[in-house]
Amino acid sequence: MPGAAGYIAPDVSVQIVDDNGTICEPGQQGSVRVRTPVNVGGYIDEFGQTKAPFRDGYFDTGDLGYVTPEKMLVITGRKKEVLNLGGDKVSPRIIEHTLTAHYGVHEAVAFAVPNGLGIDEVWALIVPVGRLDEEALRKHCREKLAETHVPARFIIVAELPRNANGKVDRVQLSALAQGD
């Protein structure tokens, strides 16, 4: 699974919890919560809206991840980026990792677009390496991903939209798809 890994310091407590707040087993993905010696219990002058990240002395980072048996934290994505495909939830990074593992793809970004029935399906912007063989890419995706995670549409672009920090600008993705 793609993600950034890091060592957990001894004075920092990290929990990976499921949607019910139950602590996950090592290797099981969930929400990342942290507690440090300098944790706070809320934001100043924020009424009600921001209490949710602060619970039981932990701060919910908004990240998804897991802890390895060796106590390494692996971040696999952000909760706000999760695609909800008719109730089937997936991090777009998993799809993107699969896409970029294909020899014909230099960069890729996955996002959801509602189909004619109003159900979200996966689309992908692709920066190809040369001429893209879409059928080979689709076959590659079907071998590696669940059927609902295979992009319904590939959109070839010269470069991915990026924000001022150089990160993929996910806000622009739907607008690009609608303009296509």
> Tokens standing for 104?
């014909």
Residues 86 and 168 in one domain: yes
Domain span at residue 168 reads 82-179
Q: Tell me the whole-structure pTM to 2 decimals.
A: 0.65
Calculate the alpha carbon distances from 40 to 20, 31, 37 in Å.
Answer: 23, 19, 9
The residue among 79, 99, 120 that closes a domain is: 79
Instruction: Say if residues 125 and 108 touch (Cβ distance below 8 Å).
Output: yes
Residues 35 and 69 in one domain: yes
Residues 33 and 90 in one domain: no
The pLDDT profile of the chain, 180 residues, written as one tens digit per residue, is 455 555 555 677 888 998 888 899 988 888 889 888 776 666 666 555 555 677 777 888 888 888 888 888 888 777 777 777 777 778 888 899 999 999 999 999 999 888 888 888 999 999 999 999 999 999 999 999 999 999 999 999 999 988 888 888 877 876 676 665
Residues 90 and 168 in one domain: yes
74/56 Cα distance (integer angstroms): 22
Instruction: Say if residues 112 and 123 touch (Cβ distance below 8 Å).
Output: yes
> Which of 79, 104, 83, 63 minimizes the C-alpha distance to 174?
83
